[in-house]
């Protein structure tokens, strides 16, 4: 742990290191306003702006003082951001103090008064207040095109975080504590004091005669962190005087190993998970070829790609258990309006409303389509639009389709699209006999819920194509015919079936 007398030098080195690591795209984003709202040129003038989250306490006041020295030396711009929750009686006093500090340093002071903005103070719970605070701080960073948000977390805070997550229950990512550089909602968060003890920060404030305020709620043991801070941690320090250094070192090692697992899991994601908009399709057989820790981490990455909430081990484990379920159509619900369900060897994670198609028990009305070049039609025609068909001219010497999502038919005037009757018998292309549609669905691992609503394409009364599954022997293009129609279909369900049956796209 750095020596007390070297606090600024160590802070300066660490902040420079974090700035060098920060994502470059933050400073080049031009759709945010400047710190000076009267200046409409937002090209690159704020690429060197740092915003310090300042409550007025000793930690954030010391951070603001250090950052001010750094910005003067390195020619960066600086602003302070203060969030007034409106919960405590002395909240307005804190805001006034921070404004005065900024006036003294001649830097902008950005203040968010949540009670005024929302018409009422937020719920006075620790977790709720923290989320509101960060939302307001992130808004400032985006609004003013700042490079990063600086927060005053230190080694003692890290100790509390690791200890609290340990007794609450967490994963390797959680037990490794806070990162010196993290990105949340596309905002870079820097913690340049994370390796320094609270005592070092207090000593710096005292030696430089810094004024600061004391939050009276920091003494209340109604908050879990305060109970750890005032009772548990001092007791542990009495047993092991070097426990702070030990936990700091542990967090650093855990973060390095966690990063290694994350990189390996990203390779797993590329191998067995396919993203399509706001849904993910998991190849279960492929996923299970990897070790369980990598399976968990891949699922965690999947969840964060779909929704930016705080996903827990239980959420990840519930999806992992679903992947091992013996039921080929098992389903679970998740927070943020998501659901996960099985389709044989595929698993879908998507918005809960998107699987309503699978539960449909009715048959859609048939659709008649007068064919013309480069035309499109949707099926069913009730607004649900699960299948999209596209028609274009086919002429010799164009090749005949080998994809089951395409079909070439003779030059007929029109076709009909209707839902399948599973008792119907058809003659698949290349087969001598006839086969029931029910058996074709079973062989293709089409879930039962889909079979009654799966479309078939007919010319007259004959089924010529079961989209995504097979072309029939009916109405083939004859050798003497030089023109016809090429039909192509797209539908989310086809991707899901392809994952359940890798051979489904070839005849």
CATH value at residue 19: 3.40.50.620
Would you state the pLDDT for residue 384?
A: 54
List Cα–Cα distances, 497 to 443, 470, 491, in angstroms. Answer: 11, 13, 10
- The count of domains in the chain is 3
Q: Do residue 38 and residue 182 come from a single domain?
A: yes
Q: Which two tokens stand for residue 196?
A: 């320094």
Residue 252 domain flag = no
Q: What is the mean pLDDT of each run of 10 residues along the chain (507 residues)?
A: 71 95 50 34 57 96 97 96 86 94 96 76 69 92 95 96 90 93 92 96 96 81 81 93 95 96 96 88 93 96 90 92 86 93 85 61 79 92 74 86 88 94 94 94 83 91 95 92 93 64 46
Q: Is 246 inside a domain boundary?
A: no
- Of 316, 334, 358, the one marking the end of a domain is 358
What is the model's pTM?
0.69
End residue of a domain, out of 307, 337, 358: 358
472: which DSSP letter?
A: B
Do 343 and 285 share a structural domain?
yes
55 and 106, same structural domain?
A: yes
Both 225 and 300 in a single domain? Answer: no
Q: What's the pLDDT at 371?
A: 96
Question: In terms of domains, do 220 and 187 share one?
Answer: yes
Domain of residue 144: give its range.
4-241
pLDDT score, position 168 = 86
Closest CA to 197 of 236, 162, 155: 155
* Cα distances (angstroms) measured from residue 476 to each of 389, 407, 459: 19, 10, 11
**Do 32 and 105 fall into the same domain?**
yes
CB 361, CB 369: distance < 8 Å: no
pLDDT at 22: 83
User: Do the domain assignments include residue 162?
Assistant: yes
Is residue 371 located within the same domain as residue 354? no
> Do 293 and 204 share a structural domain?
no
The domain that holds 311 is classified in CATH as: 3.30.465.60
Residues 340 and 385 in one domain: no
| Side-by-side strand order, sheet with 109-113 | 109-113, 77-84, 49-53, 148-150, 187-190, 181-184
Q: Kindly state whether residues 458 and 372 are assigned to the same domain.
A: yes
Q: Are residues 172 and 143 in the same domain?
A: yes
77 backbone φψ class: left, alpha, beta (φ>0; ψ -120 to 50): beta
Whether 54 and 82 share a structural domain? yes
């Amino acid at each position: 742990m750095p020596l007390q007398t070297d606090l600024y030098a160590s802070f300066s080195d660490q902040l420079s290191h974090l700035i060098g690591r920060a994502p470059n795209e933050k400073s080049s984003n031009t759709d945010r306003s400047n710190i000076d709202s009267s200046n409409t040129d937002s090209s690159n003038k704020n690429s060197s702006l740092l915003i310090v989250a300042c409550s007025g306490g000793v930690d954030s006041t010391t951070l603001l003082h250090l950052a001010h020295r750094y910005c003067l030396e390195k020619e960066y711009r600086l602003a302070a951001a203060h969030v007034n929750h409106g919960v405590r009686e002395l909240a307005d006093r804190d805001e006034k103090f921070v404004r005065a500090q900024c006036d003294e340093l001649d830097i902008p002071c950005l203040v968010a008064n949540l009670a005024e903005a929302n018409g009422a103070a937020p719920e006075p719970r620790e977790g709720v207040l923290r989320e509101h605070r960060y939302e307001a701080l992130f808004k400032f960073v985006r609004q003013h095109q700042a490079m990063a948000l600086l927060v005053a977390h230190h080694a003692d805070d890290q100790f509390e975080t690791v200890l609290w997550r340990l007794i609450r229950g967490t994963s390797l990512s959680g037990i490794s504590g806070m990162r010196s550089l993290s990105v949340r909602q596309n905002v870079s968060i820097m913690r340049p004091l994370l390796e320094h003890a609270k005592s070092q920060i207090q000593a710096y404030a005292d030696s430089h005669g810094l004024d600061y305020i004391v939050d009276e709620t920091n003494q209340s043991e109604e908050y879990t962190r305060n109970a750890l801070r005032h009772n548990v941690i001092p007791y542990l320090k009495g047993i092991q005087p070097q426990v702070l250094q030990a936990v700091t070192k542990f967090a650093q090692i855990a973060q390095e190993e966690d990063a290694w697992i994350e990189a390996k899991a990203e390779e797993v994601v590329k191998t067995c998970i396919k993203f399509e908009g706001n849904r993910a399709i998991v190849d279960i057989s492929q996923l299970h070829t990897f070790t369980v820790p990598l399976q968990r981490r891949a699922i965690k990455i999947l969840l964060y790609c779909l929704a930016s909430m705080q996903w827990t081990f239980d959420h990840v484990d519930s999806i992992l258990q679903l992947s091992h379920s013996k039921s080929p159509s098992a389903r679970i619900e998740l927070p943020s309006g998501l659901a996960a369900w099985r389709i044989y060897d595929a698993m879908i994670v998507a918005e809960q409303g998107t699987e309503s198609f699978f539960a449909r028990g009715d048959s859609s009305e048939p659709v008649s389509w007068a064919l013309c070049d480069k035309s499109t039609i949707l099926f069913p025609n009730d607004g649900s639009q699960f299948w999209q068909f596209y028609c274009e001219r086919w002429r010799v010497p164009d090749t005949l389709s080998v994809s089951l999502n395409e079909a070439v038919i003779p030059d007929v005037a029109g076709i009909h699209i209707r839902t399948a009757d599973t008792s119907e018998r058809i003659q698949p292309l290349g087969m001598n006999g006839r086969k029931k549609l029910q058996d074709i669905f079973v062989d293709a691992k089409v879930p039962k819920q889909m079979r009654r609503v799966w479309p078939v394409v007919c010319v007259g009364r004959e089924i010529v194509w079961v989209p995504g599954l097979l072309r029939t022997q009916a109405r083939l293009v004859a050798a003497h015919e030089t023109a016809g129609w090429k039909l192509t279909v797209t539908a989310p369900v086809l991707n899901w079936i392809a994952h359940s049956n890798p051979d489904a796209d070839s005849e």
